[in-house]
């Protein structure tokens, strides 16, 4: 019997932990001229089940770009924990009042001053098709020592774990 389902489940579980810990990400969309454009976003739901949720303005460049080309990437970096996550998926924009109420956080008033009644507020849902993470539980000093040893020995440093996860 294969242990693949367990490995896949473990990978998804660790990916969820890393996303939850990082919370702030870079959402990359494709502009109409083909350029990739990234901007920081705050993740709204930490129970990552393959969907990432964000609040945005319906008339923003990112939402217009998603309407034209829904393929996106969401990347997380957590330097305190030496971990990185890259999620590839398809984005969709739409206002779902019940979901918005579920996701709303009072801190969002800094960007949406009238709360859920802010004109033009919408949700962006990114449905993950695949993800990859790099996780180095070692401290910065241990990592620096590994890089120094690699420079002397000519062998690449052991940078922690790297796993791909499919959805």
Tokens read off for 67: 């309407």
User: Looking at the whole model, is its pTM more than 0.75?
Assistant: yes
CATH superfamily membership of 4-166: Electron Transport, Fmn-binding Protein; Chain A (2.30.110.10)
Tokens read off for 56: 């945005």
Q: Pinpoint the alpha helices (H) of the chain.
A: 4-22, 61-68, 97-103, 140-153
Tokens read off for 113: 């001053």
Task: Judge whether 89 and 69 are in contact, CB under 8 Å.
Answer: no
pLDDT tens for 57-88 read 999 999 999 999 999 999 999 988 889 999 99
**CA torsion angle for 48, 108, 21, 134 (degrees, to 10)?**
70
Domain ranges of the chain: 4-166
pLDDT tens for 115-164 read 999 999 999 999 999 999 998 765 454 445 544 555 666 666 555 667 67
Task: Write down how long the chain is.
Answer: 167
Tokens read off for 154: 């000519």
């Amino acid at each position: 019997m294969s242990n693949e389902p367990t490995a896949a489940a473990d990978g998804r579980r660790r990916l969820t932990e890393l996303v939850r810990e990082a919370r702030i990400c870079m959402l990359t969309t494709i502009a109409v001229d083909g350029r990739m454009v990234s901007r920081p976003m705050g993740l709204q739901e930490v129970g990552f089940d393959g969907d990432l949720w964000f609040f945005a303005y319906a008339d923003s460049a990112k939402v217009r770009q998603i309407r034209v080309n829904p393929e996106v990437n969401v990347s997380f970096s957590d330097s305190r924990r030496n971990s990185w996550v890259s999620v590839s998926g398809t984005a969709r924009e739409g206002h779902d009042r019940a979901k918005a109420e579920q996701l709303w956080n009072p801190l969002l008033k800094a960007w949406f001053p009238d709360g859920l009644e802010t004109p033009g507020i919408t949700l962006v849902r990114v449905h993950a098709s695949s993800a990859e993470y790099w996780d180095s539980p070692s401290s910065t000093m241990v990592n620096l020592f590994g890089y120094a040893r690699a420079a002397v020995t000519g062998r690449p440093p052991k940078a922690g774990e790297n796993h791909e996860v499919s959805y």
